Structure 1
Amino acid sequence: MVFCAAWFAGLCLVLVETGGAHPGLSREDASQVLLRSRRHYQAFEEFKQGNLERECVEEVCNREEAREVFENEPETNYFFPKYLDCLAQQSITSKQIRDQLWKTSRVKYRLRKCVTDLPNQCKPSPCHIPGTKQCIDLQGDFKCLCHTGWKSKTCAQDVNECEKQNGGCEHYCINDVAGYMCGCEKGFALRTDGHSCEDINECEMPGACGSADCVNSPGSYSCNCPWGFFYNETLKACFDVDECTTKPCEQACVNNIGSYVCRCDGRRSYLLHPNLHNCTKMEPSEIWHPRKDPTALCLIPQSTAKLTFYISFDLPSIMREILAFSIRTYDPEGLLLYTRRREPEKRSLAVALRDGRLEVQLQDGDDRVVTTGGPIINTGTWHSVVVERLRRQLIVRVAGEEVININRPDDAQKGTSRVEIALGGLTISTPSLIRPLPLRLDGCMRHLSLLEQDTSWLSQHISENPSQQCFSAIELGAYFSGSAYVHPRQQNYSGDVGDVCESNPAWNLQLAMDFRTMQAKPHSGLLFALVQGSEVPLSLALQPTDRIAMQAVQITTGNDLLLKITWVPDATWHSLNLSLSSGLLSLKLDSRSLQLPVPLLYSKHPSPPVQTFFGGFSDGVPIEATPVTFPFHGCLRNVVLNSEEIEFPASSSPKVTSHSCPTQGQA
C-alpha cells in the first residue's frame, strides 16, 4: 500500500506538470512506464548495487529499479517523482522508449544531467539562502545549517530575539531580519553597550525653553513660567494669564502681570472678604457714628434741594417781634434764618453770618437795609442771639449785648398776615437776598423761640430724628461720613513750560492737608484723586497693611503702587504733603518722607478734563480703575491744592460737614 501511494503520487505529479509548459508523458505512455516488465540484467548487474546511470539514464527505470539503486525508501521516495519530472521535461515519449532512439540524441545528455543531480538533496538547495550557512545532503533528506538569527528546517524563519528577556534591552527591543537592535524611550539615548539607555539633558540644548526656565527630568524636560504666566511653545516665551476671564471675583476683577486682585465697591460699603474673592457688606454697627446732641438742630439739610425747616402760620400784627436762638459754628459765612410777611406789604428779615459776624438784611416794601456787626462768633462755641423788631427799630443782641441797632420809621401794621420762617436755606419762591451770600451754613441751633410761638413740637422732632441733630462736640475741620466732594473748578495740573519740553509740559501738583481718622484702627478710604474719563492717574488713599494693626497712606496710578508710608494708627491729626513736579513724586507724612522718580509716567501733558475728588469717588469711576474706592471716614483741614485753599461748602454734599469735625466718641 505504501508503494502504491507513492507510485500514484508520482503519477499525479507527472500528469499535473505535463498539463503546463512541458508536454510530458501521455496517460498511455505513463501507463507503459508503470506497467512494463522488469528487465533481465546481466549477472553482475543483479548482484551489485544498482547503478543510477545504467538503470535510469541508459534505460528508463521504474520505482522498483530505483529502489534497487538507492537501497532505501527515503531516497527512493525523494528520487522517483523528480525522475518522472525529468522525463517529462525532456519530452520522452513512449515511441522513443520503444525504439530507444533517444539514447543517441542530446536528450540523453540533458536527461543524464537532470537525473544525476536528483539524488543530492541540496541541488538545488531547498534552504533559504539568506539564512543558510550550508546545506547537508542526508540521503533523501537534507539539513540546513542556519546563520545566527534564523531558524526552521530551511532557515527561512527569522529568530525573534526580543521574545527572550526583551533581548537584553533596557527599554525596548526591535526585531529585525537575522538580528535585533535596542531602542530607548523619547528623551533617552542608547549607550555604547548597545543595550542600556541614559537620559538626555534637553536643557543643555541652546534655546530649549527660550525665556522660560528649563527643568530637566528623566526622559523629558519642562519649560516653566512663574505663577500667573503660561508658556507659548511656538514663541518659546512666558505670557501673562488673564485670570479675570474666568470671573473668579464676586464683583470686580483686575488683572495684573502674573496675578489678579478682586475688588469690591467701597462706595456701597462693600469690603473684600478674607478669602480675597467675595465681598461682604459692612454692617451699620461696624460704621463709626459720632455722638449727637438731641437738643441741637443741624442747619445742613439732608438734601441739597431742600431746607432744613420751613414754618408758616398766620400771625396778627404785634408791637414787638422776637427771634431768639443759640448758634454754634466754625463756618464764617451763610444764612441762619429768613422770615417774611406777605400782607399787607412785603416785609422780610434775613439773619446771616459774613466773615464770622452777624449780618441783618431788612426789607420793608421798597426800603432795604444791610448791616453787619458784632463780635466774631464762628468760634465753635455756643452764642446766644436775640433779634428784636420794634415799631421804629431793629435790635440784635449777642450774649445780651447789643451789637446791631437799626432805626426805622414807624412800621406798625394792623390785621393778620401770613408769616413764613425758613431755617437753613430759602424756599424756591423766595426772592434772592439783598446782598448775596451762601444759603447753607454748617452750624447748629438750639433754644429756638420764634415770634413767641409754641416750638415744643420742633424740639420733639429734633430729638426723634438723629439725622437732623448736631454733633455733641466739634473742632474745626471738614467731616466726611461716606461721600465724595468734587471740586467744582477745573484745575491746571500742568507744570512750567520746560519741565520736560517746551511743547509738552509735565504734571505739576502740590497738595497739603491735615487729616484725622475717627478711630485708632486701620482705616480704608480715599483722601484725594485725579480722574480722567474712566482712569485714575493719581490716587492718595488710606489702606490697611498686611501687617496686623498697621495703617498705610499710599499713592497709586491706576492699580500700580508708587509710594507708601506706614504707621501705627491713631485718632490724632496728621500732616500730609504730596508733590509731583519735573518727574519727581514726593510723599511726606508728618516728619517721614519718600521720593520716587517717575519721568515717563507723568511726562505727558495732563489733557483735560481732569476732575478732582476729595473723600471718595462718584459712581462714574469704575471699581477696577483704582485700588481704593471706599470713602474716607474722617476729617480734613488746612487743604491747599496748587496754592489754592480748598473749602468744602456746606452745599457740596449732605454727608460732608464743611467746618464741623466731631471730637467725642462713638454714639
Structure 2
Amino acid sequence: MKHQQARCQFICFKQLPCNHNNNNNNNFIFCSSACIQRYGSLHSRRTDFLTCVHNLPNQCSPDPCHKEGTVRCEDLKGDFYCECKPGWQGKTCEKDIDECSVQHGGCNQICLNKIGSYRCSCYSGYVLRDSKTCEDIDECTASADICGEARCKNLISSYKCLCDAGYKYDELRKTCQDIDECEEQLCEQTCVNLPGSYTCHCDGRGGVKLSQDMNTCENIIPCVPFAVAKSIKSLYLGRMFSGTPVIRLRFKRKQPTRLVAEFDFRTFDPEGILFFAGGHQDSTWVVLALRKGRLELQLKYNGIGRVTSSGPLINHGMWQTISVEELERSLVIKVNRDAVMKIAVSGDLFTLDKGLYQLNLTVGGIPFKTKDLILPINPRLDGCMRAWNWLNGEDTTIQETIKMNDKMQCFSVAGRGSFYPGRGFAAFNLSYMQPSSGNETKTNWKIEVNAVIQPATDTGVLFALVTEEASVPLSLSLIDYHSTKKLKQQFIILALENTVVSRLAINLCDEREHSVDILLKKDQLSLSVDGKAGESELSTSELEDSLSILENSLQSMVKTYMGGLPDVPVTSTPVTAFYHGCMTVKLSNKALDLDEALYKHSDITSHSCPPVEAGFLHPVPENSYSVRYWIQQGTRNQSGPWWERQEKD
C-alpha cells in the first residue's frame, strides 16, 4: 500500500487538474486518501479522479508475482492480478498446491507432490497406463527369457520362476537345479537321489518294506495266514539240506539180531533217502530210498552191490506204512502190509565187534558221500515220518527231543508245492545261453519262467539272476507300491537291474493261486499273470538297451535265486525282501526241483506246502497249472529207542 500511495502522490503532484486540496504549506500537492481508497474499483471510482487513475503506472512492473508459479501478471491500474500456473495459489502465486491431499490426486497407487505440480506413480511390477491408473506388468510376456530354462508365472506386481518338482531355481544361472532330498534325511534307511526326485529303500532282507508315507519302513506282515502248525509226533526228513542224516542211531546187542523197522511215511518228493542201516561204508549195509516216486533198496555185501526198485508210487502225499524186515536170508519191504520187494541176502546187517552185535542206523541221509552209493542219488528228501519203530525199541528220548524242536517237526497238513517261510532262498547254477540253430559258434539266449504262486505277503522276490559283482540284472518280484507315482498298490513287477520294465496290478492277498509267466529273448520281453499281459514301462529303444545289458550279464557267471536274494546292495533292485508263501516253478517248461539247488535255506520245504488257515481254499482257476490237496496228520504215536543227533540248528 505504501508503494501504491507513493505512486498516487507522485501522479497527483504532476497532474494539477486533479483539483486536490492543498494541504501543504509549501504548496506541495498530493492525493488524498480518497484516491487510494477508490483505486482500482471501476464501479466506485470517482469521476474527479479519472485523470489521476488513468495515469497510474503499470502495476506489473516491476513484476510482483512469484515467477515460478505465475503464468502472467495483469495490471489492474493501481492493483495487479497474478494468474497462477496449475498447482500454485496465493496473491502472488507463491504457494504450492498439494494435489495429493485431495482424493490422492486421482492416483490409484502412489501420488507424488511436486513444486507446482504432482505425478502418479506405481509400485514395482506395475506400469502407469493413463497417467493415473496402474496396471500389472506381465513380466513373462514382456521378457521371454526372464526365467531362462524355468517356467515363468506372472503374479500381482511380480513374477515367479518355477521348476518341476524336485528342482530349485538358480537366479544367477537362470537354470533349474536338482534338489538333493537325501541331504534332508527324509528316508529312514537308504536314500537315493534322482533327477527331480528321490527314492527311499528299506532292507527287505531284514523283514521290512516301505510304509505308506514312502519314507519310513514297516514290518512285512502276512496278509494271508497259512496253517503252519506242526505235529510234535512227526519227524521231518528234509531239515538238513546238506543231505546228512537228521537222526543217527547205534544199536548194540549181545545176541544176534535182525533188522526190523516200521514207520508211517508221507511225501510229495520223488527222490531221496529214507534210512541207512548197516556197518561202515565197506561192510554190509542197506539204503532204503525213493526214486521216481517208488521205493528203491540198495544193498551191499562184501563189496558186491545190488539195486532193486519196485512197488507203487508213494509220493502222493498220503500216509502209508512202510516196513523193512530182515529174515534169515532175505529182506522183505512192505507198503501198507503188502510186500513189494523181497531181496535175497547172504549176510547179516549186524556185525560182531568186540563181542557185541552192532548196527548203525541213520534217518534222512547216509553216513558217507552219496557218490559212494551203488547208484548215486540225491539224498535230500522232503518227507515226513511218524510212528517209527526201530528194532521194537521202546526208548522215548527221540520223541521228547523232537517235541522241543519245531524244526524237526512236519506240517500237520501239507499239499504239493514249495513253501518259502519269508526267510532264506534257494540258489542254482543255470545257463540260459543256447547254441544258434545251424551255427554252434553263435549263441542265443532265452529266459522262460512260469511260477505258480500263492503269496502270504505282498512283498518278496520270486526269481532273480545275480552276477558275481552282486548286481541283479533281472528280477521278478511282488511289491506293494509304485515307486514313480508314490502310490501304494500291489503289483507283480519285472525289473532289469533297478529299473521296472513291466508291471501288472494284482490283488496279492486274495488267498488264490496265480500263474506268473515271463519270457525274455534278444528282442522280446513279456510279463503276464493269469493270462493278462503286463504294462511295459520302457520305450522300444530303452528296452533294447536294457536287454543288451542283460545279454552281457548272461555271457558271464550268473546264479539263479528263488525266493530271495543274497547280500546285494539294497538299491541294486526294486525288491530285496524274501518271498513268503507257496510256489512251484518251471524253467523252459521243466519243473525246478529245489532239492537240486546249490544251496537252500533249511526252512524252505522243497515239495510240501501248508494250506491257508482254517483249511479254506478258493476254487482253483481254470488256467492254474497245479492242483493242491491236503492230508490231515493222524494221531498214531509210538516211541522209539535211544538216539543221538549229529547237528544242531
Q: TM-score, normalised by structure 1?
A: 0.67
> 1:564 and 2:511 equivalent?
no
Q: Which residue of 1 aligns with 2:603?
A: 655
Name the counterpart of 1:599. Answer: 544
Question: Which position in structure 2 is the counterpart of 1:170?
Answer: 108
* Distance (whole Å) between structure 1 residues aligned to residue 592 and residue 100 of structure 2: 92
SS class of match (1:662)? coil
Q: Which residue of 1 aligns with 2:415?
A: 475
Aligned mates of 2:25, 2:472 — CA distance in 1:
128
Choose which of 576, 579, 583 in structure 1 pairs with 2:519.
579
The match for 2:204 among 266, 288, 299 is: 266
Aligned with residue 326 of structure 2, among 364, 389, 404: 389
Amino acid of the residue matched to residue 613 of structure 1? Answer: Y
Cα distance in 2, alignment partners of residues 356 and 286 from structure 1: 32
Could you say if the C-alpha distance between residues 369 and 534 of structure 1 is closer, same or farther in structure 2, counting changes exceeding 3 Å? closer
Q: Does 1:525 align with 2:472?
A: no
In 1: Cα distance, 2:516 partner to 2:322 partner: 38
Give the Cα separation in 1 of the matches to 2:169 and 2:332: 85
Structure 1 partner of 2:258:
320
Q: Partner of 2:410: helix, strand, or coil?
A: strand
Return closer, same or farther for 1:392/1:517 CA change in 2, 3 Å cut-off.
same
Q: Find the counterpart in structure 2 of residue 59 from structure 1.
A: none
Assess if the C-alpha contact under 8 Å between 1:538 and 1:556 holds in 2.
yes
The equivalent position to 1:361 in structure 2, one of 298, 315, 320, is 298
Flag the structure with larger Rg. 1
State the Cα distance separating 1:470 from its structure 2 match.
1.3
Which amino acid counterpart does residue 360 of structure 1 have in structure 2? L
1:550–1:150 Cα change, 3 Å: closer
Which secondary structure does the structure 2 equivalent of 1:620 belong to? coil
Match of 2:592 among 625, 634, 646: 646
Offset, 1:408: 1.0
Alpha-carbon spacing, 1:638–1:629, altered in 2? closer, same or farther (3 Å): closer
Question: Equivalent residue for 2:478?
Answer: 542
> Residues of 1 paired with 2:391 and 2:371: CA distance?
22
Structure 1 185/427 Cα, relative in aligned 2: closer, same or farther at 3 Å?
farther
Partner of 1:420: 360
Specify the alignment match of 1:590 in structure 2. Answer: 530
1:276–1:545 CA distance, 2 compared to 1 (3 A): closer
Change (3 A) 1:240 1:288: farther
TM-score of the superposed pair, with normalisation by structure 2: 0.69
Aligned equivalent of 2:390: 450
Q: Tell me by how many angstroms 1:124 deviates.
A: 11
Pairwise CA distance, 1:618: 2.3
Q: Residue 203 of structure 1 aligns to a residue in which SS?
A: helix
Could you tell which deviates more after superposition, 204-213 or 329-338? Answer: 204-213
Partners of 2:98 and 2:501 lie apart in 1 by 71
Match of 2:580 in 1: 633
List alignment gaps of at least 5 residues for structure 1.
Answer: 1-43, 50-121
Note closer, same or farther for the CA distance 1:271–1:513 as it changes in structure 2 (3 Å cut): closer
SS in 1 for 2:577: coil
Give 1:133-282 correspondences, 5 Å limit: 167-174=105-112, 179-192=117-130, 194-205=131-142, 206-209=144-147, 212-234=150-172, 236=174, 238=176, 240-255=178-193, 258-282=196-220
Alignment of 1:16-165 (within 5 A): none
* CA displacement 1:529-552 (0-9 Å, x = unmatched): 233545444332234579x99864
CA displacement, residues 132-170 of structure 1 (integer Å, 9 cap, x when unaligned): 878999xxxx99998766899999998876677655433
The aligned counterpart of 1:615 is 563
CA-to-aligned-CA distance 1:620-658 (integer Å, 9 cap, x gap): 241x343433322222225114x6542211762212211
Q: Secondary structure at the match of 1:602?
A: helix
Q: Which has the higher helix share?
A: 1
Following superposition, the deviation at residue 328 of structure 1 comes to 1.8
**Contact 1:298/1:469 (8 A) holds in 2:** yes
**Paired AA for residue 308 in structure 2:** T
Distance in 1 separating the partners of 2:174 and 2:264: 78
Supply the AA of the counterpart residue of 1:270.
V
Distance 2:352 2:327 in 1: 11
Kept in 2, the 8 Å contact 1:127–1:156? The answer is: yes
CA distance 1:640–1:431, change in 2 (3 Å) = closer
Letter in 2 for 1:556: A
Q: Count how many residue pairs are aligned between Structure 1 and Structure 2.
A: 541
Change in Cα spacing, 1:197 to 1:613, as seen in structure 2 (3 Å) is: same
- The alignment partner of 2:248 has SS state of strand
Match of 1:16 in 2: none
Instruction: Tell me the secondary structure at the aligned position of residue 402 of structure 2.
Output: helix
- Answer whether contact 1:293 1:469 (CA < 8 A) is retained: yes
Residues 197-235 of structure 1: CA distance to partner in whole angstroms, max 9, x if unpaired? 111122323244455444322212223344444334455
How far off its partner does 1:186 sit? 1.6
Which residue is equivalent to 1:352? 289
CA distance in 2, matches of 1:581, 1:451: 58
Distance (whole Å) between structure 2 residues aligned to residue 615 and residue 282 of structure 1: 15
Instruction: Give RMSD over aligned pairs.
Output: 4.7
Contact 2:237–2:246 under 8 Å retained in 1: yes
> Which residue among 296, 304, 308 is the counterpart of 1:372?
308
Partners in 1 of 2:377 and 2:501 — Cα distance? 43
Q: CA deviation at 1:489?
A: 1.2
| Gapped regions of structure 2 (runs ≥ 5) | 1-23, 30-59, 616-649
Sort the Cα spacing of 1:412 and 1:568 in 2 relative to 1 into closer, same or farther, 3 A: closer
Rate the CA distance shift 1:404–1:224 in 2: closer, same or farther, 3 A. Answer: farther
2:273 counterpart residue number: 335
Contact map agreement 2:276 2:286 (CA 8 A) in 1: yes
Q: Contact 1:540–1:553 (CA<8 Å) still a contact in 2?
A: yes
